[in-house]
Amino acid sequence: MGDGTTTKEIYFRVCAETKREPAGEILAVLNHAIDDQIIDQTQFCTLKLHANKRNERNEKYRRKINDENVDTLYRTLQCNTFVVGLDLGYNSITDVGAKTLSKLLQETLILKELILSYNDITSEGAQDLAKGLQMNETLLVLKLNGNKICNKGALAIAGSLQVNTILQELDMADTDMGTESCVAVATVLNYNNTLKVLNISRPILHSSQEESVVVHMAGMLKVNRSLEEIHLAKCGIRDFGAERLAENLVYNTTLKQLHLSCNRVTRDGASYLARLLKKNTPLEMLNLAYNRIEDDGACALSAVLARGNTNLQTLVVCSNNIATQGLCALAKAMKTNSSLTRIYIWGNKLLEPACNAFQELMSGRVPRLAEEDTDVTPYIVDGVTYLSRINSPY
């Protein structure tokens, strides 16, 4: 089955055989895929069935996909060569549906992306998905974020990475992972050379366990040669953890994005990370949003960016209690650093000198910062410059 029309015909046949009513949501997506194939001559498609879609009045209008719908999709896609992605986020899929999808992972010929964000999958369903991953030879992206798979489920997924050498992106943020599963993921990635993107943000850790996890992650990053992006938000990382990460990342040759938002990094931690940037590692993006680096931390980063780093392209320091000194130092660093093109500063103390500095960056004689590359825009009232917030991914 290599086209949308045939896929739709098979779907109707499966519904008839199982005596189930065709789901309007699935039919709508299949019809859209058929239109795209005719107009754009597409050879493959992703079925976007996430239930968080809203209309122009911001109202949810899709009925949620359930386990029965998943079974129908599985029977439809068993030998399919047209559908390469399934976006099933924000639905009502339970462990029963996860077990069905595990069978699809074992039998699929072409599925490359499976998004299951924010469903009702627990550790049992994750264990079934892990079995499917061990047998799968096509899947590149798996997103389980928002499912409470807990320690047991995350351990099973980590174990599957010892066998699976295809998966490139894994998202297990907000899944109630524990210390054991975080350490297991780090241990496996000492040897796994295919995973490129990892998100384990917001694990459930006690204060005494936070340092253990970051030490294992830092040690893994020292030897790993495939990861390009790692998300460690809400991991309770303090300055000790920032120091461990910095001293180990000196040896890393692949990591391009380091996300450490919503942790407990202060000026000392920022200074350790500044030393890392001074080594001009491959790091292109550093996200420190919602920490507490303050002026001293911002100045430490600015000093390196002004003269010692030519690789960093994006710096996120939203809500870090940075005041005039630190913000002006960052603005000054951008004038001399041609590689740093994006900076996000909203949530700090945006007093008039800092507002003037960023207005000069954005609309001065030689503009250095484009509006789409930051989260603020200048405006003037009674001769005084202010900054207002604009849309930001952070």
* pLDDT tens sequence across 189-220: 999 999 999 999 999 998 777 788 999 999 99
Euclidean distance between the first and final Cα of the chain, in Å? Answer: 41
The DSSP H or E segment spanning 314 is strand 314-316
Phi and psi at 309, nearest 5°, equal -130, 135
Percent of the chain with pLDDT over 90: 84
Q: For residue 146, what are its two tokens?
A: 């928002």
- CA dist 86 and 29 (Å) reads 11
Mean pLDDT of 337-352: 96
d(CA 190, CA 213): 14
Residue 293 CB partners (closer than 8 Å, separation 6+): 265, 266, 267, 269, 270, 301, 317, 320, 321, 322, 326
Dihedral sign for Cα atoms in the order 250, 251, 253, 255: negative
* % of the chain surpassing 70 pLDDT: 97
Kindly state the average pLDDT of the residues 332-345.
95
CB atoms within 10 A of CB 385: 18
Question: At which residue do the structure tokens 């005041």 appear?
Answer: 323
| 3-state secondary structure (DSSP) of residue 219 | helix
Query: Over 80: is that where the pLDDT of 61 sits?
Result: no
pTM given for the model: 0.94
Predicted confidence band at 60 (pLDDT cuts at 50, 70, 90)? low
Q: Work out the mean pLDDT of the chain and round it to a whole number.
A: 93
Instruction: Report, as an integer, the average pLDDT of 13-20.
Output: 94
pLDDT confidence bin for 37, thresholds 50/70/90: confident
Categorize the per-residue pLDDT at 54 as very low, low, confident or very high, splitting at 50, 70 and 90. low
Mean pLDDT, range 153-169, rounded to an integer = 97
- CATH 3.80.10.10 positions along the chain are 1-161+170-181, 205-393
Question: Structure tokens of 93?
Answer: 């899929």
Burial 8-34 (b: 16+ CB within 10 A, else e): bebbeebbeeeeeebbebbeebbeebb
CATH architecture for segment(s) 1-161+170-181: Alpha-Beta Horseshoe (3.80)
Instruction: Pick the range with the lowest mean pLDDT from 141-155, 157-171, 197-211, 273-287.
Output: 197-211
Please say whether the beta carbons of 188 and 160 come within 8 A.
no
- Write down the pLDDT at residue 209: 72
CB 133 within 8 A of CB 157: yes
Q: In whole angstroms, how far apart are CA 304 and each of 48, 117, 273, 330? A: 43, 38, 10, 10
In the sheet with 257-259, reading across from the earlier edge strand, the strands are: 45-48, 83-87, 113-115, 141-143, 169-171, 197-199, 229-231, 257-259, 285-287, 314-316, 342-344
Cα torsion 116, 118, 120, 126 to 10°: value is 50
The pLDDT score that the predictor gives to residue 1 is 55
| Sign of the alpha-carbon dihedral angle for 294, 296, 299, 301 | negative
Rounded CA Rg of the chain: 24
Is residue 55 over pLDDT 80?
no
At the topology level, CATH places domain 205-393 in 3.80.10
